[in-house]
A and B are shown apart, each in its own frame.
Chain A
């Protein structure tokens, strides 16, 4: 149980285009989801906290207009990287907190390459 599916696992896009990444909790409901970014050989840095039915809370230095987060249901949060640039190339990982507060489950990550 407590499976989080993240899609796509890899995506290559052209500079200036937008990319949407989905994070789904498959067998539990998640009131809160988190989005992390990881640059090569670095740690995971929290980008934003996504709460179902309300606006996401962004960490300092993360552009909310560039990284659009939508958490419209208890099982789905999406991260859209708008007008992507090569410097946005990174590994993006989501995690979901179970509504029973048992803990966190991480998705398998999305490797974004902007060319």
Chain B
């Protein structure tokens, strides 16, 4: 069965600090997709990244970076030099299937507070 665990419920950092959000997943499928979404107070889900199970390359996008480790079933997300605007709830999600066409299961989310 699918499962996504985000052990960190809340994280509080001071602006300009680096912060890593952890995500551990469980799946019996060999083909799956992992996602990170940001949910600001407005509620809308903002897509950040999608990674398929065959691509373990780490990715960097500006201040954001992702570390995908199949050996530990982890897909961690790091924000470098955090800013107040990064304050939000971040969800890690998993979708099984060749085309990611099956339902997406979300982790419990990590609420990030960035203080000025």
Contact = CB atoms under 8 A, between A and B. Distances in A.
Interface of A: 32, 34, 36, 41-46, 49, 91, 93, 95, 97, 101, 103-106, 108-109, 111
Contact of B106 (A43, A97, A108, A111): A43
Contact of B50 (A45, A103, A108): A103
Contacts of A95: 104
Interface string B71-112: 000000000000000000001000100011101111111010
B43 A104 contact: no
A36 B106 CA distance: 10
Contacts, number: 50
A56 to B, nearest CB: 12
B101 A106 contact: no
Contacts of B103: 34, 46, 49
B44 A109 contact: yes
Nearest to B102: A49
Contact of B105 (A41, A46, A93, A108): A46
B45 interface: yes
A43 B109 contact: yes
15 contacts: A32-B101, A42-B109, A43-B107, A43-B108, A44-B91, A44-B106, A46-B104, A46-B105, A93-B43, A103-B47, A103-B50, A104-B35, A106-B37, A106-B47, A109-B45
